[in-house]
A and B are shown apart, each in its own frame.
Chain A
Amino acid sequence: MRFHIVGATLMLVAGTYIPVAAQKPTDFIWARSWQSLVTVPAPITGWVNRTAIPNEYLEVNVARGTIHIEGGASDRIDWVVTQRLDSIMGMSESARNAFISGSVGTTTWADRFTLRVGTPSADTTIHARAELQLRVPRDLKLLHLNLHGAGDVVVDNFAGELTVTADSGYITGTNLSGSTILEAREGGVALDLSATPFQAGPISLLSHDGSITISFPPQPSVVLELNTNCGNINSALPLTDARPLPGAGRLPLQVGNSDLDCALRPKSLPALPGVSHLHGHASVTLGSGAVTLRAMALQGDINLTTNPAPASGQCAEIPELGKKPDGSPVLATVIGRVLAADGRTPMGGVRLQIQGTQSGTWSDPTGEYRLAFDPHLLAKCRKLYVVVDSPGYATQILTLMIGPRVRADDVVMRKH
């Protein structure tokens, strides 16, 4: 059994040499703080039956933290809220717990049910946040999520309408089959459409600073309306019959990358087999165009990839690695290397974080990283997404999946 990370875009970009000074040694100091998160021992739990939710409309508002949602067969909505914060030197545990006691509340309105997770502290320098684990009926009609501060949103296996607004985190969606309307203001969006065909409703994706990565089955049936401003469209799908979007001033996709308003971006992209590099605005119909997908990225890229849908019952078994003395699961590890934009120079101090989990690591000065995670998160053909981040460089979203190799593909960073 092997785990590996694959680059979501299969993209290499020529760029400039990254000086050692740019490798941000202070990031390692921050890393130690980041890894020493403490947890309040008693999470806050609650539940509500779907019959008590007006219009089957569940609204979730979280001040700051991670929202992890999984659809299931139950008719009950269950939540677990855990408050976390970085260690604070010199503060006793009791004082710390009192300090981060956040609020969790519910309200039944005339038209909806609201779950509200308040901020533990208004002081954003404390790095306090909530982690919300939510189980919902897979076919609940309306699920609206609003994440007002830093943090990610991860949604898996949901067939109702999903609307998400995240101020500064990443939004990841897998196994979604209803209307999907996502807005990531400072983060990115990763949507995996390869396993579950969309049946109804529009898909609309917005990303301000981050990238939009969409995985399709090999022969998708979709109308794509793509808008890029500074970023590029890196597509493994054929976009040869692109038409202008209605409205003056919009031209069909242009081959090559955009350098409009983006002087720091490289002027040219090396050709890669099977990947088109384009920019602009266009509508493209693939297959019978059963559903419309609109994506707009202002600063980042739009990455269109294809993944073969796993055949029913063909998901690989996740090995049972056992448990540690404290009862926590033994973790699997994926290893790999981060390189600068020239594709050769090792790049240290780059953060890799699995979205929606506490699993994260940093590349060392030789560019190598070891990323430990709970392998059970990959059960039932699920994928995980890894955000690769370094100040001054374009954030990348990679896919973590079960694969035949020990080592991951090299991650090649590039400047904004």
Chain B
Amino acid sequence: MQDELASALQSLSTGTRLQAINAAASNGQHNDAIEHALITALLTDPNTNVRMAAAEALGRIARPDVLRQAVGRALTAEKSLFVQMTLLNIAGQLPMAERRAAITPLLDRVDIDPLATNDARDRVRDTPRGDSR
């Protein structure tokens, strides 16, 4: 499984990479190799749709400590607002202390859309908003 995923993620085809990530997420298996492949896609894939799918897949199958590190690393450099918002959604499933650790890198950046900044601030508040976030 992990070999197939790693191989598919090298494909020139965006659709193949997306399909492989979706399959990994729906399969439910998780191990170091799969998590590593998904994190690599999240951090390096040139297509926004693929990075977003990788983030969602990690949110479904990654262990909490891996998830926190992956979200934190991605929020340090990710430029797409789509992926940033997806990562913030995923960070919402972490305990507050780990969530703060993961989200803080985004709040330290100066190139962030206010939409993401406001969402990030809401998520690290002690008292969450009374909505779906």
Contact = CB atoms under 8 A, between A and B. Distances in A.
Interface of A: 55, 57, 111-112, 141-142, 144, 161, 163, 165, 178-179, 181, 183, 201-202, 204, 206, 208, 229-230, 245-251, 254, 260-261, 280-281, 292, 294, 296, 298-299
Given A179-B13, A179-B14, A292 B82 contact: no
A85 B31 CA distance: 55
A249 B133 contact: yes
A216 B40 CA distance: 35
A181 B47 CA distance: 9
B97 interface: no
Q: Which of A112, A161, A181 has the most CB of B within 10 A?
A: A181
A331 B15 CA distance: 39
A112 B59 contact: no
Contact of B14 (A144, A251, A260): A144
Contact of A247 (B15, B22, B60, B115): B60
B92 A298 contact: no
B52 interface: yes
B59 A206 contact: no
B19 A248 contact: no
Contact of B82 (A142, A206, A260): A206
B19 to A, nearest CB: 6
27 contacts: A57-B12, A141-B13, A165-B48, A178-B15, A179-B13, A179-B14, A179-B19, A181-B15, A181-B47, A181-B49, A183-B48, A201-B19, A204-B18, A204-B49, A208-B82, A246-B60, A247-B56, A247-B92, A248-B92, A248-B93, A249-B89, A249-B133, A250-B132, A260-B132, A292-B22, A294-B49, A298-B115
Given A204-B53, A250-B89, A181 B14 contact: yes
Nearest to B116: A298
A183 B14 CA distance: 13
A254 B132 CA distance: 10
B80 to A, nearest CB: 8
A299 B81 CA distance: 11
Contacts of B119: 261
A260 B56 CA distance: 22
Given A202-B19, A260-B131, A298-B82, A183 B49 contact: yes
A280 B89 CA distance: 12
Contacts, number: 95
Contact of A206 (B16, B22, B25, B52): B52
Contact of B81 (A179, A204, A281, A298): A298
Interface in B25-83: 25, 47-50, 52-53, 56, 59-60, 81-82
Nearest to A251: B132
B127 interface: no
Given A57-B12, A208-B82, A247-B90, 14 more contacts: A144-B14, A161-B13, A181-B49, A201-B15, A206-B49, A246-B60, A247-B92, A247-B93, A249-B89, A249-B132, A249-B133, A251-B132, A281-B89, A296-B82
B29 to A, nearest CB: 15
Contact of B15 (A112, A202, A230, A246): A202
A47 B119 CA distance: 48
Nearest first, the 4 A-B pairs at minimum CB distance are: A179-B15, A248-B93, A249-B92, A204-B49
Contacts of A249: 89, 92-93, 132-133
Contacts of A181: 14-15, 18, 47, 49-50
B115 A142 contact: no
B53 A111 contact: no
